[in-house]
Amino acid sequence: MSGENFLFSVFAILTCVSALAVVLSQTVVRMAFWLVISLGSTAALFFLANADFVGAAQLLIYVGGTLVLLVFGVMLTASGPYMKIGTSAGETVVAGLLGLLFLFVVFACIGGVEWRKPVTGSADNIATGAVGNTLRPLGLSFLGVRPDADLATGKPPEASGYLLPFEIVSVHLLVVLIGASYLARAKRRAAPVGQ
Amino acid sequence: MMFAAQSIAEFFDWLGGWQYVAAALIHAVLLIQVFALSPFAFIWLERKVSGRIQDRLGPTRVGGLFGWLQSLADGIKLVQKEDLCPPAADSMLFRSAPYVVCVASFAAFMVLPFSNGWVAVAADCGLFIMLAILSLEVFGIIMAGYSSGSKWSLFGGMREAAQMVSYEIPLAICALVPVVAAGSLNLGEIGGMQRGWFGYWFLFHDPFTFIAFFCYFIVATASCKRAPFDLAEAESELVGGFHTEYSGMRWSFFFMGEYASMFAVCGIAAILFLGGWNTGIGPLDDALYAARNAGADGTGLAVVGYLANVIGAFVFASKASLGVFVQVWLRWTLPRLRIDQVMTTCLKYLVPISCFLFLGAIAWPLLMLTVLGQTTWTSSPLGKQVSAEVYESQVVQARSAERASLLDVENRTAELELATKALVAGKERLAAAKNASESEKNSSDSQLTSLQEEVAALEKAEQEARVSLESANETAQKAILKARLLIEGRASVNKNAAAAREQGVVR
């Protein structure tokens, strides 16, 4: 077993076990803790696959952002010291059935894919460097240049890329956030007129 | 000869398959030393500086001169303390929270280069990874605050969460300002680009990076929850904030994490703005760089190259420690803000300022490129490198224009051929009709006239096709000439770019 495989199995087991712990634990903040471990191990799996950028984004967005907000929300809204979520037997059965069905779908999808070895060639070296230098190809493909595809076909890039739509969407999101916080804040009552 | 190894993995070549394990262990152990020793030094510094600022002496006894072993004495004391867990606490979360803080700030050192090539993981998006990992630290703090089962801790945790979630935004945007100037997220490359006189440091790259440095430093101080932003542990209101219930080593883990992440954020500042491991004296930097490269290539003495890197690491550590010193100085000088003031500072001032700086940093190279023909106001090779990239894209555009115009010429030629063929056929038909009319004398004149008109139209079309072919030819010739000129010019620009790239390259 090579070192990479060993690390892969460690992080994969960690991901699965802590995902199970998320489901099985009752306290919300403990769930969040297990979720941190699960998502962190997923990020580690990304790092192992030489996808640095995706791994770091996973850490920044899910662990550093979403989960902190989750715990923050629990702390602000909980009435008791440790908020618990109890599930009734019926809910457990329904959720378990749904989970099994989903597992079946996932396995069917995995089985349906024709797995091949990645094509290695000169284009491959640029696209996914062995040291995980995926940032430049990512940026280039945002601009519509796909070094992996373009070198393979030998044609100049034609697409204009998705950078502008992406930027517009993200600025839009920021505007929505500011608007939401403006609408949600407590309004001061206007001073009575004529006094 | 072992000093000539390009990496630690290569150094352990003789271990066979285990070389990577050995390399990983060595990297981890070295980084743990940094992680453990920097708090050791900075806690002593904090005591000493606070003493001086308050007109005291600070530690003087332990270890003799200046009480430099005081931190060790503190550590020994803390190890002996009882490891308490309050009955109201959620013990699993309570016990694991300090480790989350510690691991997060330790792992951030993984991608921080200490000198030219002295980095555990030379990742392409190093800065992004580092900010992502540092942002995990807050989770440990919140967990500690929540799971302690104490109101002080809960308040501390909530303040910390609110503060961190807001301050991460300007932190990331301020860090992006020099990244825009450098065109890279690789911390090693960013550091390498600033070799030369200090005008080349990104601090002096443009007015926006200059302001961004101070903005970044304020935000970084807040993100390490240092005074005047230490609301989470405000001892006058919250006893100890999130660490009220902790004792012994677990308590000290929080502080190791805090001081280590102070060093980490100041290290980022040193690399992004202050030239990293470069001394700021042009010839000296060039000499160190050359010595290092010669050592690595085997053309020079390997030990000299190694020493050059040691000097680089020393310069880097001094710059980062200077940042830590300023943070300590601020802590003992400024009064603590209120939580609403902390939030106002961030959301109403720092976020808009950093957004403005970001926009300015994007516009600046374009302005310089129009005015000076290079993207920097100094003679830094970086400016020429980017202009070489622009040049390259111009060449690509010229070549595609050339290709398009050649295609156009081909199309026009084909059209002309068709028109000529049609004209010839029309003339033949006209001639045949004339013959027929002459021989028979009875065919209608109208038929003949219409044929004549048709031929005239065809002649006109042929003429038009000829003219358009000529103009297409002219355009094509212009495009070809432009492309050729650009390509010829590229050779000289490429020479500059190669020099610039060599400067930026990190082995």
The ipTM is 0.79
Same domain membership, residue A124 and residue A75: no
Whether residue B204 has pLDDT greater than 60 = yes
Q: Is residue B2 part of a domain?
A: no
Whether B438 and B348 map to the same domain: the answer is: no
Total domains in chain B come to 2
CA-based nearest distance B348→chain A, Å? 12
> Would the CB atoms of A27 and B154 count as touching at under 8 Å?
no
Question: For residue A9, is it within any domain?
Answer: yes
Domain boundary among the residues B372, B400, B431 is at B372
> How would you label B264-279 residue by residue, b for 16+ Cβ within 10 Å and e otherwise?
bbbbbbbbbbbbbbbb
Residue B506: its pLDDT value, please?
39
Indicate if B335 and B460 belong to the same structural domain: no
B405 shares a domain with B271: no
Most A CBs within 10 A among B12, B100, B125, B143, hence the mutation to make, goes to B125
Are B123 and A132 within 8 A, CB to CB? yes
* Gap from A162 CA to chain B (nearest CA, Å): 19
Contact call for residues B200 and B275 (beta carbons, < 8 A): yes
Q: Is the confidence at residue A25, as pLDDT, over 80?
A: yes
Is residue A119 over pLDDT 60?
no
**Would you say residue A102 has pLDDT above 90?**
yes
H helices of chain A, where? 3-24, 28-48, 52-58, 68-77, 89-112, 122-127, 135-142, 147-153, 163-184
pLDDT for the residue B389: 64
Low-confidence winner among A54-63, A147-156, B152-161, B339-348 (lowest mean pLDDT): A147-156
Q: Which domain holds residue B101?
A: 8-372
Given a cut of 70, whether residue A156 has pLDDT beyond it is no
Q: Do the domain assignments include residue A97?
A: no
**A63–B139 C-beta distance less than 8 A:** yes
Residue of A nearest to B108 (CA): A56
Residue that finishes a domain, picked among B319, B337, B372: B372
Q: Lowest-pLDDT range, A150-159, B18-27, B380-389, B435-444?
A: A150-159
Do B337 and B428 have their domain in common? no
Report the 10 Å Cβ neighbour count for B370: 8
Q: Which chain B residues are closer than 8 Å to A29 by Cβ?
A: 90, 93, 143, 146-147
Does residue B39 have a cis peptide bond before it, meaning omega lies within 30 degrees of 0? no
Q: What is the pLDDT of residue B433?
A: 78
Q: Is A89 part of a structural domain of the chain? A: no
With a cut of 80, say whether residue B92 has pLDDT above it. yes
- In chain B, the residue whose alpha carbon lies closest to the alpha carbon of A81 is B149
Candidate from B90, B138, B142 with C-beta closest to A82: B90
B361, B394: one domain: no
Contact A64 B92 (CB under 8 A): no
Confidence of residue A41 (pLDDT cuts 50, 70, 90): very high
Residue the block writes with tokens 């930027």 = A167
**Which residue in B has a C-alpha nearest to residue A78's C-alpha?**
B146
B499 assigned to some structural domain: yes
Give the pLDDT band of residue A126 (cuts 50, 70, 90).
Answer: very low
In a domain, A105, yes or no: no
Span B311-359, pLDDT tens digits: 888 899 999 999 999 998 988 888 888 888 888 888 889 988 998 999 9
Contact B135 A60 (CB under 8 A): yes
Would you say residue A43 lies in a domain?
yes
B367 with B391, same domain?
Answer: no
Question: Does residue B134 belong to any structural domain of this protein?
Answer: yes
Query: Which of A30, A65, A135 lies nearest to residue B93, judging by beta carbons?
Result: A30
pLDDT digits (tens, 9 = 90+) for B393-439: 777 777 777 777 888 888 888 888 888 888 888 888 888 877 777 77
Flag whether pLDDT at B500 surpasses 80: no
How many domains does chain A fold into? 2
Least confident of A112-126, B263-277, B319-333, B453-467: A112-126
Is residue A134 a part of any domain in this protein? Answer: yes
The predicted structure's pLDDT at residue B411: 83
Chain B residue whose CA is closest to A58:
B132
Query: CB distance from B245 to chain A under 8 Å?
Result: no
A44-76 in b/e burial notation, b at 16+ Cβ within 10 A? bbbbbeebbbbbbbbbbebbbeebbeebbebbe
Structure letter (DSSP) for residue A62? I
Q: What is the pLDDT of residue A123?
A: 43
Q: What is the Cα–Cα distance from B347 to B353, expressed in whole angstroms? A: 10
Residue B164 contacts A where some CB pair is shorter than 8 Å: yes
Region B5-21: mean pLDDT is 67
Together in a domain, A5 and A70: yes
Chain B nearest C-alpha distance from A129 (Å): 10
B149 touching A, CB under 8 A?
Answer: yes
Query: What percent of chain B shows pLDDT beyond 90?
Result: 6
Whether B133 and chain A come into contact, CB under 8 Å, resolves to: yes
Which chain B residue shows the shortest CA-CA distance from A71?
B142
Final residue of a structural domain among A63, A79, A95: A79
CB contact (8 A) between residue A75 and residue B154 = yes
pLDDT greater at residue B365 or residue B1: B365
- pLDDT exceeds 90 at position A179: no
Q: What is the pLDDT of residues B144-194, one digit of tens each?
A: 888 887 888 888 888 888 888 788 888 988 999 998 888 788 888 888 888
Q: A–B: how many Cβ contacts below 8 A? A: 98
Nearest to B93 among A29, A60, A72 (CB): A29
Inter-chain touch B124–A30, beta carbons under 8 Å: no
Q: Which of A56, A79, A102 is the last residue of a domain?
A: A79
Instruction: Confirm whether A111 is domain-assigned.
Output: no
d(CA B403, CA B209): 41
How far is the C-alpha of B247 from the C-alpha of B227, rounded, in Å?
Answer: 22
Q: Is residue B108 part of a domain?
A: yes
Is residue B148 a part of any domain in this protein? Answer: yes
B115 domain-assigned? yes
Within 10 Å of residue A160's Cβ, how many Cβ atoms?
Answer: 10
Mean pLDDT of chain B: 81
pLDDT at B217: 92
The verdict on residue B100 lying in a domain is yes
Domain boundaries, position A41: 1-79
When CB atoms are compared, the residue of A59, A136, A156 closest to B400 is A156
pLDDT at B495: 63
Any domain includes B224? yes
> Chain A closest CA to B411's CA: distance in Å?
20
By C-alpha distance, the chain B residue nearest A31 is: B93
What was the pLDDT predicted at A98? 93
Q: Which residue of A has its CA nearest to B162?
A: A72
pLDDT tens sequence across B237-263: 777 778 888 888 888 888 888 888 889
Contact A71 B96 (CB under 8 A): no
Determine, for residues B143 and A3 on separate chains, whether the beta-carbon distance falls below 8 Å.
no
Interface of B with A in 9-38 (CB under 8 A): 20-21
* Judgement on whether residues B304 and B391 belong to the same structural domain of the protein: no
Q: Report residue B339 as tokens.
A: 């939580």
Determine the average pLDDT of the residues in B304-310. 81
Looking at B342, B372, B402, which one is the last position of a domain? B372
What band does B211 get if pLDDT is binned at 50, 70 and 90? very high
Q: Using the beta-carbon criterion (under 8 Å), do B124 and A136 form an inter-chain contact?
A: yes
Mean pLDDT of A42-59: 86
- Looking at residue A42, its pLDDT comes to 92
For B115-124, B372-381, B440-449, B457-466, which range has the lowest pLDDT when averaged over its residues? B440-449
Same domain, B153 and B225: yes
In-domain check, residue A86? no
A79, A109, A129 - which closes a domain: A79
Question: Could you give the 3-state DSSP secondary structure of residue B148?
Answer: coil
Q: Which of A3, A63, A134 sits opposite B136 (nearest CB)?
A: A63
Instruction: Give the list of residues 6+ apart from residue A46 with CB closer than 8 angstroms, or none.
Output: A52, A54, A55, A58
Query: The domain that contains A25 carries what CATH number?
Result: 1.20.120.1200
Q: Return left, alpha or beta for B275; rule: phi > 0 is left, psi -120 to 50 is alpha, else beta.
A: left
Q: How far is it, in rounded angstroms, from Cα B430 to Cα B449?
A: 9
Task: Please tell me the predicted confidence (pLDDT) of residue A128.
Answer: 44
Whether residues B437 and B341 share a domain: the answer is no
